[in-house]
Amino acid sequence: MKKLFKLSAAAFLNLTLVQAVQAQTITVPNFDFATNPGHSGVAGDDDPNAIQYFVETNKGFTVYGNAGVPAPDGSTAGFLNTDNANTLTLSNDLTAGGTLTAPQFVVGDTYTFGLEVGLNPTNSDQDYDHAGDVSFTLTGNGSAVGTATTFTSIQNQANVVNGSPVPTFYDLTYTYTATAADAGKNIGLLITDTYGSASQTEFSDATLTAPEPGTYALMLAGIAVLAGVNRLRGLVRL
């Protein structure tokens, strides 16, 4: 009987620990940076809503929109051009224009922001054969949290498939564990692109993952059960 109690408790705790590491994917509206319907596929400073569900904040001359090039996940990437050390910021509050409820930070939960950043070797303007200095992080109620991860500008390298040049994409991730100060704040995404002279950067497959709701509660319940069984075993010995 003692062995049965011990085995059952250990199995339950192991199950909850496995469940606790499972993650949910939080929907990122317009994860492939597609052009907002009714807007130009290539927009400039006069069209700040070219990329649907993302808010573009410009400084100086920038061009952005849908790149029309395939990303590794099968989507069509969006693009950003920056010039003369200018900066373009993209933010997304994950509400899809109010149709979704923005997820909120939970203290101690770890969130992973994934992004594909690419270079387009087909660009005829050699000045733009760099990806910009891309920084990306999460936001809480619209303000950046944690320390942004930066993908440093890189010179384009030839990437030819079946005789045709195709974009080279890099998979980037940013991991952040929510603090007490973040609790209850709405989660969003923040991407900043800049470069000293000129750059063209492709973006696609923006993802956000977090622990499944309730997994930590399950883990604590498993620990409680194990503690209770150990106490019962002690009483049986008495």
* Token pair 């939080």 in the structure block, residue: 26
Amino acid at 166: V
pLDDT average, residue stretch 194-209: 83
Check whether 208 has a pLDDT greater than 90: yes
Residues 6+ apart with CB under 8 A from 21: 211, 215
pLDDT average, residue stretch 20-33: 83
Asked whether the beta carbons of 172 and 149 are under 8 A apart, the reply is yes
* Token pair 């994934």 in the structure block, residue: 114
Please tell me the total number of residues recorded for the chain in this structure. Answer: 238
User: 140 by DSSP, 3-state: which?
Assistant: strand
Asked whether the beta carbons of 231 and 10 are under 8 A apart, the reply is no
116: tokens are 């594909």
Q: What is the pTM of this model?
A: 0.76
**pLDDT range class, residue 194, cuts 50, 70, 90:** confident
Does 31 or 52 have the greater pLDDT score?
Answer: 31
Asked whether the beta carbons of 1 and 8 are under 8 A apart, the reply is no
Average pLDDT, the chain: 75
Check whether 8 has a pLDDT greater than 70: no
Q: Which of 52-56, 106-110, 184-188 has the lowest mean pLDDT?
A: 52-56
43: tokens are 């927009």
Most confident of 1-10, 157-166, 218-227: 157-166
Nearest one of 75, 115, 76 to 208, comparing CA atoms: 115
